[in-house]
């Protein structure tokens, strides 16, 4: 994570994949303007929005405020879930989830109303268990205990740091406490099982399976929190959880400004 807000260098985007993503983003932006209204968007004789200039020549007559997207909890697609598990645990391949539990009409998005049925819940459980089987030999590496640290101290540090990455936000003290209760049950076998139990709990928690777009309490209706902005950017450009850089600039408040968001879009497009 970087400790200060700074504009990421803009590098040449040679990857055809990035050009496809950029094209898709532009297309979605144009579609949003045509659908919701905005400067320069007119209407056809049938009353449908078009990108043609409005009659009379002046674009100002067609300017209208865009309606804010309502607050929501948005379930990850199965691909996003698998990619996130892969990146959080440092796996070479993403685990497979067979059941979608709901399909999406558009690329990059899961159905906003999609839930988790019994079949999908079992599929997510199996995917997490498969990932843990692969990562089990290096649980001590994941825990990243400082030299000489007591096991309880190490477990609490892991709960905070890995929990923040999994939930894509800072954990509440009550959430850390609940994770340590899970650790304590696993620790009855050994330390590694305590760490594994926390990972299993985190990766099947609603706070991992669902993205929040609830905004910052007391802010404007359409204003997302910096961590929610980081999550939006990550799943749009990476189709996975926010990386360390995104989490860092979110924690520093850099994603509260258009300049900070622009810098991260440039960086993600250059990857």
- For the whole model, what pTM was predicted? 0.75
Q: What is the pLDDT of residues 85-133, one digit of tens each?
A: 999 999 999 999 976 665 544 444 555 557 788 888 999 999 999 999 9
Residue 256 or residue 71, greater confidence? 256
pLDDT for the residue numbered 32: 36
The C-alpha atoms of residue 271 and residue 267 are separated, in whole angstroms, by 7
Whether 270 contacts 10, CB under 8 Å: yes
Cα(164)–Cα(227) distance, integer angstroms: 10
Helix axis angle for 258-269 and 226-237, nearest 10°, is: 20
pLDDT in tens, 134-179: 999 999 999 988 888 899 999 999 999 999 999 999 999 999 999 9
Q: Which is more confident, 63 or 36?
A: 63
At 49, give phi and psi (nearest 5°): -65, 145
The predicted pLDDT at position 221 comes to: 63
């Amino acid at each position: 994570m970087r400790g200060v807000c700074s504009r990421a260098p803009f590098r040449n985007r040679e990857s055809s994949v990035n050009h496809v993503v950029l094209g898709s983003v532009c297309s979605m932006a144009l579609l949003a303007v045509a659908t919701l209204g905005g400067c320069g968007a007119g209407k056809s004789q049938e009353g449908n929005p078009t990108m043609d200039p409005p009659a009379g020549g002046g674009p100002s007559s067609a300017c209208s405020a865009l309606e804010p997207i309502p607050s929501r909890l948005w379930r990850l697609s199965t691909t996003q879930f698998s990619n996130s598990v892969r990146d959080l645990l440092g796996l070479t391949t993403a685990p497979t989830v067979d059941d979608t539990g709901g399909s999406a009409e558009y690329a990059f998005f899961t159905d906003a109303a999609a839930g988790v049925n019994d079949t999908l819940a079992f599929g997510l459980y199996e995917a997490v268990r498969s990932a843990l089987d692969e990562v089990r030999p290096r649980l001590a590496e994941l825990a990243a205990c400082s030299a000489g640290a007591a096991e309880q101290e190490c477990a609490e540090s892991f709960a905070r740091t890995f929990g923040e990455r999994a939930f894509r936000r800072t954990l509440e003290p009550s959430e850390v406490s609940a994770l340590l209760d899970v650790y304590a049950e696993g620790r009855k076998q050994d330390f590694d099982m305590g760490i594994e139990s926390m990972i299993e709990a985190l990766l099947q928690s609603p706070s991992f399976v669902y993205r929040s777009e609830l905004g910052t309490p007391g802010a404007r209706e359409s204003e997302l929190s910096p961590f929610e902005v980081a999550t939006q950017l990550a799943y749009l450009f990476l189709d996975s959880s926010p990386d360390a850089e995104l989490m860092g600039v979110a924690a520093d408040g850099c994603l509260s400004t258009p300049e900070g968001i622009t810098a991260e879009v440039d960086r993600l497009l250059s990857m």
